[in-house]
Structure 1
Amino acid sequence: MTRRFHYGQLMHKALRGLMAEVLSDVAKHGLPGNHHFFITFDTRHPGVDIPDYLKQRYPKDMTIVLQDWFDGLSVTRDRFAVTLNFGNMPEQLVVPFDAIRTFVDPSVEFGLRFDATEDDDDEDEDDTDDPLAALARSDDPGPEGDDTPPRGSGDVVSLDRFRKH
C-alpha cells in the first residue's frame, strides 16, 4: 500500500479547528457585532449529549442558533457545550466537532459544510432542512434552540470538490 495524503480529512480537521477557535473566542468575549451561528449536527453521533425529548424530536439532525440568548458556552479540543432555551426550559447540549454537518454565520455570509458519514450516503436527503441551502433563499434567521434553518445569501465552502473520486 502506498502512502498518500488525505487532503479532504486534513481540511475537515483544520476547519473544525477554525470552528473551535471561533467558539472559544465567543465563550470568552461574547458575540461581536451582528455575528451569530447556525450549527447543524448529527444527533446520533457518539458523544452528542442532548435531552431525550430532543433526541426524539430530532432523531437525525438538529440545527441550533447561537445568537441572542445562550449560556455556559464552553469549548474543548474536540467538542463544545452550551445551554439553550427550548420552550422556556434551559437545556445543556454537548456537541463533538465531528458531529457538526454545517456551521453558518449569515452576518458575514460564511458557511462550512462537512460531508455526511458513509451511513447517510444511501439516504435521500432533502435540502429543505439544510441551513446552507436555506441561507441562499431568504434573510430572516430563526430563533435560538429552534431547528429553523438560517436564511440569507452568501458563499458556502463545500469540501466535496476537493475529494478524489
Structure 2
Amino acid sequence: MAQEPPAQDLMHYEAMAQDALRGVVKAALKRAAAPDGLPGAHHLYVTFKTDAPGVSGPPDLLGKYPDEMTIVLQHQYWDLAPGETFFSVTLQFGGQPKRLSVPYQAVTRFYDPSVQFLLQFEAPAAAIAEAKAEAAAPAKVAAAGAEPPADGEAKIVSLDQFRKK
C-alpha cells in the first residue's frame, strides 16, 4: 500500500496564524501609545526587515542596517502611532530624533524581556525579493543602453543585440 502525499494547505493556515500573532504586536503597540505608556517594567524590542516594502525612515539610518534593525520602546519614544497595517514612531539615534514607519508584515521578532514574551515571524522573503527585482529592473534597462519608457508608454526592446553572432 502506498501512502498518499499530505494534502496541500489551500487555506494557508500558517499565514493566517502569522497574521493573528501580528495582531498581538499591534495591540501591544496600541497599549504603549496610550497616554499612560507601557505599564510597569514592560519594554518592547521590535525587529524588522529594513528592506521590506513599505519600511520608511531616514536613508542614512536605514543604510546602516541594510537587512534588519531592532528598536527598543521603553522610556524615550515619541509619537507612537500604531495603524491598521503599519506603525510609526520617533526615536533618538545619535542624539537626533528620527521617524520610522514599519509595516507589521516587516516585523520578524517581537520581545518583551520584562516577562520573557517572544514572538518570531517568517521574514517577508517573497515580498522583499519582488521589491528588489522591481528596483533592479530599471537599472538593467539603463545598463543595456536602452532609454526608459515614457510614462504610460510601452517599450519594446529587441534581444538581437544581446545574442551571440
Matches within 5 A, 1:107-146: 107-118=114-125
Structure 1 SS opposite 2:54:
coil
Gaps of 5+ in 1: 120-165
**Percent identity (aligned):** 43
Q: Which residue of 2 aligns with 1:11?
A: 17
CA RMSD of aligned residues (A): 1.7
Q: Which residue of 2 aligns with 1:20?
A: 26
CA radius of gyration, larger in:
2
Q: Which residue of 2 aligns with 1:161?
A: none
Q: Does residue 1:79 correspond to 2:100, yes or no?
A: no
Q: Does residue 1:95 correspond to 2:102, yes or no?
A: yes
Native 8 Å contact 2:105 2:124 kept in 1: no
Q: How many residues are paired up?
A: 119
Deviations 1:36-65 (A, max 9, x none): 011110001111011111121000100100
Structure 1 CA distance, aligned partners of 2:63 and 2:9?
43
Deviations 1:89-124 (A, max 9, x none): 0001000000000000010000010012346xxxxx
TM-score of the pair, normalised by structure 2: 0.68
1:3 is displaced (CA, Å) by 7.4
1:5 is displaced (CA, Å) by 2.2
Structure 2 CA distance, aligned partners of 1:88 and 1:24?
26
Q: Which residue of 1 aligns with 2:157?
A: none
Question: Aligned match of 2:45 in 25, 38, 57?
Answer: 38
Structure 1 CA distance, aligned partners of 2:82 and 2:97?
19
Structure 2 SS opposite 1:62:
strand
Structure 1 CA distance, aligned partners of 2:50 and 2:9?
34
More RCO (CA 8 Å, sep 6+): 1
